Amino acid sequence: MRFFMMATAAALTLALGATAAHAQQQHPMGFFVTSNGPGNGADLGGLEGADAHCQALAKSAGAGDREWRAYLSTEAPDKRGVFARNRIGAGPWYNARGELIAVDLDDLHISPNIFQRTALDENGNDVKGRYHDVNQHDMLTGTQVDGTPFWPDDKDHTCNNWTSSGEGSAQVGHHDRHGGGNTSWNSAHPTRGCSQDALKSTGGAGLFYCFAAD
């Protein structure tokens, strides 16, 4: 009897593993949280540098054959800047475990499947959130909840369009949907500055979202 139960458990484990592998094969990764930032606070080298970072991380995880874009907005002095939502394709997007994140842009900005359990890095690992030993749930976005940039004002929402690691501020979201009275994945609050230390002080590490735009 004991042997039968052990054999059944082993078979179940293998079946679950096969199911997960099949799901990943059927739905290639199209979304991840960066496992690390460039290391210079919110200075990502602009949109070009941020996109290159996404591409490099995706390549290291075996997904470099897709076109990857950072989910970031920019600002302009007298008009709307670049829209984060316009940079990332039309969907659908799946995480590294083959779980659906959103079917399209409307789904992504209204009811996305982005939480602590699903907002994984490019290797399928959890990203530290509010209830971990170190909180790193602040994701750089520079965007409003609908994925559009802020209207021109006297505030910095993008750390000088992702080129500053000193003065300024950036809007961030919470990948774990916890904390600060605002559970938005893409527009929870501004940072206290643009340096690595300033990002850490509100629960960040210079991480951001990457989406496959092809």
Burial class (CB in 10 A: 0-12, 13-18, 19+), 59: middle
Please indicate, yes or no, if residue 48 is contained in any of the structural domains.
Answer: yes
Please indicate, yes or no, if residue 13 is contained in any of the structural domains.
Answer: no
Please indicate, yes or no, if residue 8 is contained in any of the structural domains.
Answer: no
Please indicate, yes or no, if residue 123 is contained in any of the structural domains.
Answer: yes
Decide if 120 contacts 139 (C-beta within 8 A): no
Decide if 121 contacts 105 (C-beta within 8 A): no
Average pLDDT over residues 146-167: 96
User: What's the CATH code of the domain at 127?
Assistant: 3.10.100.10
Q: For residue 132, is pLDDT > 90?
A: no
Please indicate, yes or no, if residue 167 is contained in any of the structural domains.
Answer: yes
pLDDT tens sequence across 73-115: 999 998 899 999 999 999 999 999 999 999 999 999 999 999 9
DSSP state, residue 59: H
Q: Which domain holds residue 98?
A: 29-212
Q: For residue 168, is pLDDT > 50?
A: yes
